[in-house]
């Protein structure tokens, strides 16, 4: 089966600019997650969707980050305006259901804010 | 979320077994023990999970202590491709969103 697709693979922007990341989960996977991974740390959950509804966005900095999953399939994560500390890898994952058993992750988008 | 403790790094030789420890003294009865690994420049990859009994799959084995306060991921014959960061995660099966919370994990180096 095809994996979780993410694009772009790399992105470099200046601070205060905006950026968007795209994720296409595995077909049929109802649950989708966005994680942020800063260099040297484990991934941190930003937002979890169940179909097109938000289940958990408690760690999403809502003043600058937004995410949507229209039609319950692919998803976009946006940052506007970006800060230097947003430099990280943004990972998308999906699972059949919230209880898993396992998530499938994409390869991520590496964002550098200069 | 219940916390886990793992060594920051471990080293192994190719074709030898590797035992990666994880302590989780505050584990609750509904917590599953999950292991993921992350190869360089890739997203995390599911390895194995268990609740009480030891588990085996094609990638690894999971040995769970009788009191469930610790577990060990076993790679039976390490290869260079097993060099990665290994994460031990507790996942509450009794909660409402079952989210995975990652720590810093153990960086495994495999020497040829």
Chain B interface, Cβ < 8 Å to A = 34, 36, 41-46, 49, 85, 87, 91, 93, 96-105
Q: Which residue of A has its CA nearest to B42?
A: A107
Is residue A71 very low, low, confident or very high in pLDDT (cuts 50, 70, 90)?
Answer: confident
- Per-residue pLDDT of B20-75, as tens digits, reads 999 999 998 888 999 999 999 999 999 999 999 999 999 999 999 999 999 999 99
Q: Which residue of A has its CA nearest to B32?
A: A101
Inter-chain CB proximity A105 and B45 less than 8 Å: yes
Is pLDDT of B1 > 60? no
Q: Does A16 touch chain B (CB under 8 A)?
A: no
**What is the Cα–Cα distance from A99 to A31, expressed in whole angstroms?**
9
For the range B3-9, what are the long-range contacts, defined as Cβ-Cβ under 8 Å and sequence gap of 24 or more? B3/B90, B3/B103, B4/B88, B4/B89, B4/B90, B4/B103, B6/B86, B6/B87, B6/B88, B6/B103, B6/B104, B6/B105, B6/B106, B7/B106, B8/B104, B8/B106, B8/B107, B9/B106, B9/B107, B9/B108, B9/B109
pLDDT at A52 (0 to 100): 86
Average pLDDT over every residue of A29-44: 94
- More confident of the two residues A92 and B32: A92
Q: Does A109 touch chain B (CB under 8 A)?
A: no
Is pLDDT of A70 > 90? no
- What the block records as the tokens of A55 is 């289940």
- Per-residue pLDDT of B80-93, as tens digits, reads 999 999 999 998 76
Q: Which residue of A has its CA nearest to B40?
A: A107
Q: Smallest Cβ distance to A108: which of B43, B96, B97?
A: B43
Is pLDDT of B98 > 80? no
pLDDT at A82 (0 to 100): 97
The Cα of A102 is separated from the nearest Cα of chain B by a number of Å equal to: 6
Q: Smallest Cβ distance to A100: which of B96, B98, B102?
A: B98
Is residue B3 very low, low, confident or very high in pLDDT (cuts 50, 70, 90)?
Answer: confident
Dihedral angle over CA of A5, A68, B102, A26, nearest 10: -30
The Cα of A31 is separated from the nearest Cα of chain B by a number of Å equal to: 10
- More confident of the two residues B100 and B92: B100
Inter-chain CB proximity A45 and B46 less than 8 Å: no
Is residue A1 very low, low, confident or very high in pLDDT (cuts 50, 70, 90)?
Answer: low
pLDDT at B94 (0 to 100): 63
Is residue B96 very low, low, confident or very high in pLDDT (cuts 50, 70, 90)?
Answer: low
Is residue B95 very low, low, confident or very high in pLDDT (cuts 50, 70, 90)?
Answer: low
Percent of the residues in chain A that have a pLDDT greater than 90, as a whole number: 82
């Amino acid at each position: 089966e095809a994996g979780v697709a993410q694009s772009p693979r790399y992105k470099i922007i200046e601070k205060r600019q905006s950026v968007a990341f795209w994720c296409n989960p595995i077909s049929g996977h109802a649950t989708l997650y966005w994680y942020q991974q800063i260099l040297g740390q484990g991934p941190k959950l930003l937002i979890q969707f169940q179909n097109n509804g938000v289940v958990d966005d408690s760690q999403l900095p809502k003043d600058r980050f937004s995410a949507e999953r229209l039609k319950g399939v692919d998803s976009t994560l946006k940052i506007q305006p970006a800060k230097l500390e947003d430099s990280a890898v943004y990972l998308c994952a999906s699972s059949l259901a919230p209880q898993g058993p396992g998530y499938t992750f994409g390869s991520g988008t590496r964002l550098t804010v200069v | 979320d219940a916390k886990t403790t793992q060594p920051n790094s471990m080293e192994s030789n190719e074709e030898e077994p590797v035992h990666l420890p994880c302590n989780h003294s505050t584990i609750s009865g509904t917590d599953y023990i999950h292991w993921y690994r992350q190869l360089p420049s890739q997203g995390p990859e599911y390895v194995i999970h268990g609740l009480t009994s030891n588990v085996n799959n094609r990638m690894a084995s999971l040995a769970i202590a009788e009191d469930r306060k610790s577990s060990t991921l076993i790679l039976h014959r390490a290869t260079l491709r097993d060099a990665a960061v290994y994460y031990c995660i507790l996942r509450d099966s009794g909660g409402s969103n079952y989210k995975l919370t990652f720590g810093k994990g153990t960086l495994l180096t495999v020497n040829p």
